[in-house]
Amino acid sequence: MLAVVEPIDLLRESFALLEGHFLLSSGRHSDKYFQCARLLQYPERAARALAPAVERIRADMGKLAIDAVAGPAMGGIIVAYEIGRQLGLPAFFTERDDAGVMSLRRGFSVNAGERILITEDVITTGKSFGECAAALEAKGAVVAALACVVDRRENAEQLPWPLYAACTVDAKNWAAEDCALCGQGIPIDKPGSRKVI
């Protein structure tokens, strides 16, 4: 049996927790960045990091009644796959169409009333969750819950669905005009994949 390792320790071990001055996908600035791809590239670490969230989801399956798992590209794809694998459920992803709108593509489909668990690597504002949910709900699916590797919301804003995070981390973030790190003249880095408008 594998020794229990906290998800935050697996993030550190994988060099997935970065510290400095970062431009997030949301357009906000932060002192920490989670490059979860560095963790998720190792299947065994991904499985271990997500196991705590999966156990809580499994305990609540009676009330959640999840039929499938979906994650928005890019960050949610591997997380959806791994959580789907651990729960024995199908997993797929949404992605942006040519107009930049989150959509079901590649022949993926959902049935009316199908209950979906949406996954993501990191949640800061919940924007990607919301875009993925809108795409699924437009096709008649029902969002049952959310799951992620890292919940980094500063004020833990209310979400319309239950959230199952593998770990919760205190990471400061600011609107660009209020950024304390910009005020100190610290250069900014944008390691994410989404274009910030």
What are the b/e assignments for 54-76, b being 16+ CB within 10 Å?
beebeeeeeebebbbbbbbbbbb
pLDDT, residue 70, reads 94
pLDDT, residue 154, reads 74
pLDDT, residue 160, reads 87
| 7-183 CATH fold | Rossmann fold (3.40.50)
Query: Can you give the pTM of this predicted structure?
Result: 0.85
pLDDT, residue 194, reads 56
CA–CA separation, 45 and 18 (whole Å): 18
Strands (E), the chain: 17-23, 29-34, 68-72, 91-96, 102-103, 115-123, 142-151, 163-168, 173-174
pLDDT, residue 109, reads 85
* Mean of pLDDT over the chain: 88
Residues whose CB is less than 8 angstroms from the CB of residue 66 and which lie 6 or more positions away in sequence, other chains included? 57, 87, 89, 115, 116, 117, 144, 145
CA–CA separation, 42 and 28 (whole Å): 29
pLDDT, residue 5, reads 66
Residues of the chain with pLDDT under 70: 1-5, 155-157, 192-197
pLDDT, residue 188, reads 92
pLDDT, residue 123, reads 87
